C-alpha cells in the first residue's frame, strides 16, 4: 500500500501540541 | 519608577507590565490582562507561586499533572526561554503571541522548526522525526509495523530534504511548509483572538481605562 501521510501531518495530531486545551474551562 | 500602594506586593516574580508586553506582541493591553487571568489560574493549580511549573502545564493540557508527553515537554521548554524550569508571565505571553492568528507566518514556521529540532542541532534529523512518530503512535495506542514507519520517513524526507543530506535544514523546512501549509494549522490558536471574552474577569483587575 502506498503511504499517503507525511510524518509531520501525523505528528501534528498529538494532544501535546493541542494548546487550545489551555483555554478550556 | 515608584511602587505605590499594595499593587507591587501582589505581583509575582516574572510579572511584566501589560502595556510593554502588548507593545512587543500581537496582543492588546486588555488581551494581555485577560491572559494574566488564565496565567494565574494555571500557575496556581499545583504550587501557588505565580510561575507555571511543568506539572501545572501538563495539568492544563491534559487534566492530568502526571501525563508525560514528548511534545508538551518541547512546548514547555520553548516557552521557558530563560531555561530555569518555570514559565513566567512574560514568557507565557511572548510565546503564545506566536500562536496568535495575526502573528507572522515566519514566526510560526520558526517556532515549529525549533519544536521539531528535538536535540537543538539546527536541523530536523531523521532520528528525531522517527522518535516523534513513535511517540505519537504510542500515545494513540496504535501498533504500526516498522516498515510502515520507514515508509512514512522515506516519503517525508524525499519531499522535504531536497539536498538529500538526511536532515531538514531551516530553508528546506520553510519551503516544505509553504507547499504543505496545513502543517502550520497547529501554530494558530483561534482562541487568542477572543481571550477577553474567555476571561472577562480581567476588567476587575485592569490597569487601563479602556478595557473594552
User: Which of A2, A17, A21, A25 to probe by mutation at the B interface, max B CB count within 10 Å?
Assistant: A17
Q: Give B-chain residues touching A21 at CB under 8 angstroms.
A: 60-62
Complex confidence, ipTM:
0.90
Please give chain B's pLDDT, 212 residues, in tens.
445 544 455 677 778 999 999 999 999 999 999 999 999 999 999 999 999 999 999 999 998 888 889 999 999 999 999 999 999 999 999 999 999 999 999 999 999 999 999 999 999 999 999 999 999 999 888 888 999 999 999 999 999 999 999 999 999 999 999 999 999 999 999 989 888 887 777 777 776 665 44
Put simply, the answer to whether A21 touches B191 (Cβ < 8 Å) is no
Q: Give A-chain residues touching B189 at CB under 8 angstroms.
A: 19-20, 23
Put simply, the answer to whether A12 touches B185 (Cβ < 8 Å) is yes
CA distances from B112 to B1, B21, B41 (A): 38, 22, 26
Q: What is the rounded CA–CA span in Å between residue B172 and residue B78?
A: 21
Asked if B124 contacts B175 with a C-beta cutoff of 8 angstroms, the reply is no
Amino acid at each position: 500500500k502506498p503511504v499517503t501521510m507525511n510524518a509531520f501531518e501525523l505528528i501534528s495530531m498529538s494532544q501535546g501540541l493541542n494548546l487550545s486545551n489551555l483555554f478550556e474551562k | 519608577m515608584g511602587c505605590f500602594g499594595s499593587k507591587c506586593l501582589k505581583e509575582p516574580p516574572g510579572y511584566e507590565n501589560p502595556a510593554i508586553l502588548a507593545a512587543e506582541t500581537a496582543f492588546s493591553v486588555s488581551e494581555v490582562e485577560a491572559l494574566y487571568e488564565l496565567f494565574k489560574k494555571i500557575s496556581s493549580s499545583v504550587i501557588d507561586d505565580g510561575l507555571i511549573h511543568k506539572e501545572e502545564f501538563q495539568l492544563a493540557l491534559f487534566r492530568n499533572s502526571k501525563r508525560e508527553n514528548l511534545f508538551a515537554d518541547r512546548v514547555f521548554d520553548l516557552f521557558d526561554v530563560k531555561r530555569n524550569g518555570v514559565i513566567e508571565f512574560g514568557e507565557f505571553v511572548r510565546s503564545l503571541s506566536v500562536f496568535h492568528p495575526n502573528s507572522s507566518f515566519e514566526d510560526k514556521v520558526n517556532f515549529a522548526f525549533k519544536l521539531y529540532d528535538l536535540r537543538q542541532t539546527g536541523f530536523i534529523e531523521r532520528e528525531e522525526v522517527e522518535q516523534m512518530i513513535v511517540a505519537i503512535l504510542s500515545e494513540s495506542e496504535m501498533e504500526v509495523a516498522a516498515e510502515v514507519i520507514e515508509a512514512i520517513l522515506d516519503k517525508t524526507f524525499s519531499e522535504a530534504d531536497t539536498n538529500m543530506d538526511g536532515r531538514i535544514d531551516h530553508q528546506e523546512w520553510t519551503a516544505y511548509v509553504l507547499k504543505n501549509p496545513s502543517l502550520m494549522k497547529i501554530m494558530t490558536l483561534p482562541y487568542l483572538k477572543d481571550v477577553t471574552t474567555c476571561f472577562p474577569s480581567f476588567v476587575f483587575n485592569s490597569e487601563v481605562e479602556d478595557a473594552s
